[in-house]
Amino acid sequence: MRSLRYVLVLLCLFFSVSVFAQEDGEDAPLETDWSGYLPSLYSRGDQIFNMHLGLGFPLFYADSEKGVLSTKMNLGGMAALSYSYFLNSHWFLGGELSGAFFSTEGKNNYFIVPMGFKAGYQFIFRRLEFPVSLLVGFAPQQRLGGSYFGLFAKPTVSAFFRFNPDWSFGINTSFWWVPQWTGVRDEPDVAAPHSGKISIHGFFLEASIGVRYHF
């Protein structure tokens, strides 16, 4: 009888140790995978695809002759795809293609398709990443059946949460500069609010949400 008790006690100890070892073995891979996520993972050759959707806020026109003018546009929508290549743990280069549309007070539409190259620096704090970049390129524009092709630039500040080694989610804020040098025109410019010999600068604000894929 006493021997049977010893056997039962040993069996209980065996199963307890086995269950503990199994649970510990299941947790270990998670810790290993998660440790590989840390910001030190960034190095030369790391790449990111960024997709974001948001709103465009027309701010004002700055005219060389008449000063500050209303854009006479309503709130618009925008979308963008961008690519970044890291030179080291913080600096990156890339490119972006985006598009936006705005309705006007006259029930028309203004379309703009910015594209260009960007350079930036990314600040990192634990699982939070703050890329700051400047994009310079060109932007085809269309309004009232006419078109204009000119310079485009925008600085962007973003904040992203690194969800796992592959994905991060966050928000972007950008300031758009859309200059136009139109010269003398017989008809009103399609993307400017009036005619005449002018140099006009359009300013817009972008607020968007984004998702990034890291590879």
Domain boundaries of the chain, sorted by first residue: 1-35, 42-214
Give CATH for domain 42-214.
2.40.160.20
- In the prediction, which pLDDT does 72 show? 87
> Which pLDDT tens digit goes with each residue over 69-101?
888 889 999 999 999 999 999 999 999 999 999
Q: Which pLDDT value is given to residue 183?
A: 61
SS3 181: strand
Please report, to the nearest 10 degrees, the dihedral formed by the alpha carbons of residues 32, 36, 38, 44 taken in order. 170
Per-residue pLDDT reduced to its tens digit, 117-145: 999 999 999 899 999 999 999 999 988 77
Q: What is the mean pLDDT of the chain?
A: 80
Distance CA 197, CA 176 (A): 23
Quickly count: other Cβ atoms within 10 Å of residue 6's Cβ.
Answer: 9
The alpha carbon dihedral of 113, 75, 68, 191 has a sign of positive
| Residue partners of 21: CB distance under 8 A and separation at least 6 | none
Q: What are phi and psi of 136, to 5 degrees?
A: -130, 130
Beta-sheet strands, E only, within 64-197: 67-69, 76-86, 91-103, 109-112, 115-125, 128-143, 146-162, 167-183
Sign of torsion over alpha carbons 60, 61, 64, 65: negative
Q: How far apart are CA 57 and CA 73, in angstroms?
A: 9
Q: How far apart are CA 114 and CA 136, in angstroms?
A: 9
- Assess whether pLDDT exceeds 70 at residue 33: no
The span from the CA of 159 to the CA of 127, in Å, is: 11
Asked if pLDDT for residue 27 goes beyond 70, the answer is no
Could you tell me what percent of the chain has a pLDDT over 70?
A: 73
b/e code 94-126 from CB counts within 10 Å (16+ = b): bebebbbbbebeeeeebebbbbbebebebebee
Plot region of 15 (φ>0 → left; ψ -120 to 50 → alpha; else → beta): alpha
Which is more confidently placed, 168 or 199? Answer: 168
